[in-house]
A and B are shown apart, each in its own frame.
Chain A
Amino acid sequence: MQGNHKRGRCRGRKVALAAAVVMGGSMVLAGCVSVNAPDKPIVIELNINIKQEVIYRLAQDAGNTIDKNPEIF
């Protein structure tokens, strides 16, 4: 009997824990939804994040790529 009681309590805790996880998860989800708001300037921001040093590093290879693919450039 006592053993059963203990198990029952334990199960109760597990359920409470699971509920907490689910609630926490839904709170995180709710946070994500509100973060998703920004819309159109995303592409421009990506371009701004491209650094000049990276462009200079890639320039020669990109030039060769254009030369090698004249039918699409």
Chain B
Amino acid sequence: MSIDRFFGHLALRRTAAAFALTAAVVGGVAAAQQRDPAYASARASGQIGEKMDGYLGFVGSPSAAVKAMVDDLNIKRKAVYAQQAQAQHATVEEYAFTSGCLAIARTVPGEKYQAPDGSWATRTSAPPQRDARCP
């Protein structure tokens, strides 16, 4: 390995470290934000729900605005799933499904979620019906 190459690697590592730091800061800022009011109200009113596969779904036929919002959220979720799945040496589907288990567990009474038979269920104070493999 030449000296130039060696320093090239060092510079790369530094850049990677800087990126990691930036990502951590951005992550912290994101954690401080909450759900968009439109998203929160669509969830609360049961227009949309948590699906088993880790994405949001429509309970009825959505308005154009709700559809656009859900599509956007699902694309963002998929990007996060893909990134984390790679880090964990899992497939995007596995990571998304695991997240779906947890997202369904975290629904609050009144919100919709997809039951193991594929139908939409309304969350009550009882634990949600989940896939047998869910942790």
Contacts and interface: CB of A to CB of B under 8 A. Distances in A.
A55 B54 CA distance: 12
Chain B interface main SS type: helix
Given A47-B53, A50-B94, A73-B77, A59 B35 contact: no
A46 B30 contact: no
B27 A68 contact: yes
Interface residues of B, number: 33
Interface of B: 27, 30-31, 33-36, 52-53, 73, 76-77, 80-81, 84, 87-88, 90, 93-95, 97-99, 101-103, 106, 131-135
Contacts of B102: 59, 62-63, 66
Nearest to A58: B98
A69 interface: yes
Interface in A49-73: 50-52, 54-59, 61-63, 65-73
A50 B99 CA distance: 13
Contacts of A70: 30-31, 33-35
A50 B84 CA distance: 16
Contacts of B93: 46-47, 50
Contacts of A58: 88, 90, 94-95, 98
